[in-house]
Every structure is written in C-alpha cells, then in structure tokens.
Amino acid sequence: MVRTALDQVAIEVKSLQKSFAGVQALKNVSFKINRGEVVGLLGDNGAGKSTLVRCLSGIHKPDQGEVLVNDSPVIIDSPLAARKVGIETVFQDLAVVPDFDIAANLFLNRELYHTNPILNWLGWLDKKAMAYKAKKALNRLNSRIPSYDKSISSLSGGQRQAVAIARAINWGADIVIMDEPTAALGVEQSAQVNELINVISSQGVAVLLISHNMQHVIETCDRAVVLYQGESVADVAVAEVTKEDLVGLITGAKSCAA
C-alpha cells in the first residue's frame, strides 16, 4: 500500500515540560506530525515517552509548552478533552473487556441507546445498530475477523489490536497514539498490525508509534523522534538512518549532528 504524508500538520508539540515532585520528566520536547504520517517515538526506559503520551492523552497536564492540533492551540486536561480535539490512544493493554463481544468493546462507554423513546427511557441499547457500525469500522481496516459475535478473549492478538484501533478511529480521530502495539505479538500478528497502521495512515490519520522494536520502526515509520533524558534530541527520516543509528541516538552514544 502506498502511503503519502499530506502537507498539513495534524499535531505539533512545542517545548513541552512536565515535572513530578521536582523531577523533570519532560524538559523540552518539540515535534510535529503531518496527516497521513507515521512517526516513531523512541527512547530508553525513563526517557519520558510514557509521560509525553499521558500528556497528549489528557492524563497529565503539562507544566509548560503548547500543543497545536490542526494549527490551533488546544488544552488537553482530560482524556475527554483529548478525544474532543481528535486524539485517541491505544494503550499497550488495549483496555478491552475480554468477555464482551466486538461491538460492546467498540462502543464501551459510548453505547448507542434505542431510538424508540420508551425503550430509550428504559435504557435499552441498540445492539443491532452497534453491531452494524462495528462491522463497518472494522471493514474500513480490511481486518480479517471471522466472526463479529465472538468475545474478545477468543480473538488473536492482532485481531484484538484491530478492534482497539477501530475503536480509536471510529470516533473521528485525526491522531492515533499507539503504545507498543506489537510487544506481545508474534511475527504474523505483528505484520497484521503493520498493515493496520498502513491502512489508517493512508486514510489521512496521523500516527504516533511508541516502540522498542527498531525493525518495526524501520518497516512502519516515516520519521523517528528520539527522547533522551526528557528532551527531544533527534527528529530523523527513517529512510536515511540505520537501526544502529537509532540505537545510538536512544542511548546517547550518537548525536543527531554526528
């Protein structure tokens, strides 16, 4: 699948800073992602990746700095605020309910109630409408799910990722943050996730991908932003670097100017 980043910035982070009890977790983080672009967020443990993701997801409020979505400054002080400006995060644990079916997970905390006024008043869910919209959302991803009636627990890791990604983009997200999406997956399932990332980015969605897997980054990302001790120290085109270069930037053994 051919993917071309659009010449339109979806999200820009400017000089973001965050500290906890005097410890500076983020010192000066700046980068931008265009629509249709996949950017890898790299860094060693403690580099600030998780803090940055939580700031963009509305879990933490930055102390200083600015976030712009579609060229407009936004305040992201809650997960709901993040969703309202078009940012959805797929965390590593996927936040799915194993015993629920696909539609129930896709509409978790966003259930559709019956259009009949009496049934709506009684709190009846419109399960037929949710099932239809769930299939439509997953078809958008070209996902290979044999049955939509099964519980999440019966799906493979790659299929669960498809449900989590579909849930993110089903609500009109312009930016999707993915936290280690292939960490617990095998080769075949990881390839399915790569395909899903290609599909949503080809539809104009900007993707921020957190990964420790350099091969995954090389195969999937257009650019890589590297955090080191809370600072963004490199922003490189993936096609112009090697895995060894990325590792060197992550560990501090190599500088971007080198």
The CATH architecture of the domain made up of 9-97+173-251 is: 3-Layer(aba) Sandwich (3.40)
Rounded distance between C-alpha atoms, residue 180 and residue 45, angstroms: 13
pLDDT score at 258: 41
User: Tokens for 18?
Assistant: 């965050």
pLDDT(4) > 60 = no
**37-49 mean pLDDT:** 93
Give pLDDT tens digits for 46-76. Answer: 899 999 999 999 999 999 999 999 999 999 9
User: Backbone phi, then psi, for 199, in 5-degree steps?
Assistant: -65, -50
The answer to whether the beta carbons of residues 42 and 217 sit under 8 Å apart is yes
pLDDT score at 190: 76
More confident call, 129 vs 87? 87
Rounded distance between C-alpha atoms, residue 101 and residue 149, angstroms: 6
- Mean pLDDT of all residues in the chain? 85
**1-5 mean pLDDT:** 53
- H helix intervals, the chain: 49-57, 79-84, 102-106, 117-121, 127-140, 157-169, 187-202, 214-220, 243-251
pLDDT(5) > 70 = no
pLDDT band of residue 117 (cuts 50, 70, 90) is confident
Would you give the end-to-end CA distance of the chain in angstroms? 33
pLDDT band of residue 184 (cuts 50, 70, 90) is low
The domain locations on the chain are 9-97+173-251
